[in-house]
Amino acid sequence: MTAVAAAVLLTFLPNTAQAEGSYPDPLPIAGQQIIHDPTVLRLKSGQYVAYSTGGVIGARLSKDLRNWTDAGNAFAEPPSWWYEYNGTGDPWAPDISYRAGRYWLYYAVSSWGTNHSATGVATSTSGLPGTWTDHGKVFTSERTDTWNAIDPALIQADGRLWMSFGSYWTGIRMVELNPRTGKAVEGATVHHLATRPDAPYAVEGPYIVKHGRHYYLFASYDACCAGVNSTYKIKVGRSTSVTGPYTDSTGKPLLEGGGDLLLEGHGRYAGTGGQSVFRDRGQDWLAYHYYDAEDAGTPKLGLNRLHWTENGWPNVA
């Protein structure tokens, strides 16, 4: 099949599920490729920045999305309150956005394997590493809660600010934020967006974008962080309301285990997940990590153009 014929076919695909072996390779990149749970944004300076799990929120910079350099960390050292959640002050899964004249960086700190967790927020006028001012906790969870306050991602909808989050512990949740402080509204309702019927409810890392009249929830399913043995894959559902209910292309609710498969491991690219979506000059991109089977399972940056079918479903091919 020619590339043109494939593109025409994908326009009319009914949903995001793709035939085995049809996944495209990520964009070829050079330089510093090692990354985990990437969040990517084109700054007003014209540079691209990618923040990630690792270090004190590891940073990468690029001028063209293809050549990346190591730019150190968002913070020189962990804010003291992080140590309430783990002994190393180790942050996870950041999310960068721009709003109200500032860049906002959300992240998670947690005890491994528990839901003694918190999301935090920092701001910067440039978005560059070393320029962030931390503002403390946004939202927390404890062992008595049925959710886990990690893997934050922001979206604005109908003049309100929302944060999706969640990992295992009944899956994906959402709370409303105060747009002035960037923190959870006092007494905010915790909305439930997605889960699985089977323990341990292995769905995490939500990211929501709006396209047309729908909101699209992207999430990572199955097991992360095991190198080439990782089974991470990315699924998606949609809703006409940011708080749900979300369904897949067959109409199955994501609260009942639904979700269209968008991308999974293939060839050397094992365990694709930890995803985010960013828009650059009219084009949507999917950013994620994969474990390179040809490099001892090293986690690396994956970037693919995100296309939309005529009936409004995303596709990476």
How far, in whole angstroms, is CA 285 from its chain's centroid?
12
Tokens of 12: 């009319």
Q: Who's near 163: CB < 8 A, 6+ residues apart? A: 106, 119, 138, 139, 152, 153, 154, 174, 175, 176, 177, 184
Contact by Cβ (8 Å): 78, 99: no
Q: Has 77 been annotated as catalytic? A: no
Tokens of 77: 């050292």
Distance CA 173, CA 195 (A): 9
Distance CA 192, CA 246 (A): 10
Angle, CA of 287, 293 and 299, to the nearest 5°: 40
Contact by Cβ (8 Å): 262, 234: yes
Distance CA 141, CA 132 (A): 24
Closest CA to 249 of 257, 241, 240, 238: 238
Distance CA 248, CA 225 (A): 26
Candidates 95, 176, 204, 260; catalytic one: 204
Q: Has 142 been annotated as catalytic? A: no
Candidates 37, 90, 260, 264; catalytic one: 37
Which residues are identified as catalytic?
37, 204
